[in-house]
Amino acid sequence: MKLDTMDVKILRMLQENSRTPVSEIAARLRVSRPTIKNRIERLVREGVISRFTVEISRDALDNPLSVYLRLKADGESLGRISEVPEIVEMYRVTGRLNVLAKALIRDMEELSGLIEELRRHADEIEVELVLDTLKESEPPLQMIKAELECEYCGSNITKKPYIYKFRNVERYFCCPVCLKSYRRKLAMAERWSGGEAEAG
């Protein structure tokens, strides 16, 4: 399925809040509600949107500490490790310690219990406690397979787009010149209309 600029904008809004009403998305993108509804249904049908979920605040969790574990394990041990309830993510990776796992724990006592449990299934374990989250975000725009059009000149964007956010909607441009021209046009339109108009 080929995604276009509008699809990407819809996905971005739903990533920010999956409960954003269709009417709000339509108003922000200046298109009809049926257009947005049909687009979202198509994105779900084609498997681009796999599910709508709820992000639970860390403050609401009973397990406030994050731990990354590197393990050496194979075969049946991988299945047993994946069933440990504290482990929330698990990956097979390169290197001697071939499994990377993320666990959520309440305290050091629970960490000791987790390590003891994992020692039954893993030959080696390395533990790293997360002190602070410096960045946590959605996949970057350039990772989404889409055919983006420049909001100013209309040409296809073949490289990483220049992004400008206006009224809570991301706008995509092929080059700094188009971005600058769009912003100049937008400023003029707002002056003429007292801040109500948008460059288009």
| Total domain count, the chain | 3
How much is the pLDDT for 51? 83
Q: Are residues 46 and 69 in the same domain?
A: no
Q: What is the CATH number of the domain that holds 164?
A: 2.30.170
| Parent domain of 32 | 1-51
Bridge-based pairing state of the strands 3-4 and 162-166: unpaired
Integer angstrom CA distances of residue 48 from 19, 70, 141, 171? 17, 31, 14, 21
Domain-embedded: residue 125: yes
Residue type, 109: E
How much is the pLDDT for 119? 94
| CA-only gyration radius of the chain, Å | 23
Q: Which of 55-64, 149-158, 163-172 has the lowest mean pLDDT?
A: 55-64
pLDDT at 143 over 60: yes
How much is the pLDDT for 64? 76
How much is the pLDDT for 134? 86
Domain-embedded: residue 79: yes
pLDDT at 29 over 60: yes
**Residue 196 is encoded by which pair of tokens?**
């109500």
**3-state SS, residue 194:** coil
Q: What is the CATH number of the domain that holds 74?
A: 3.30.70.920
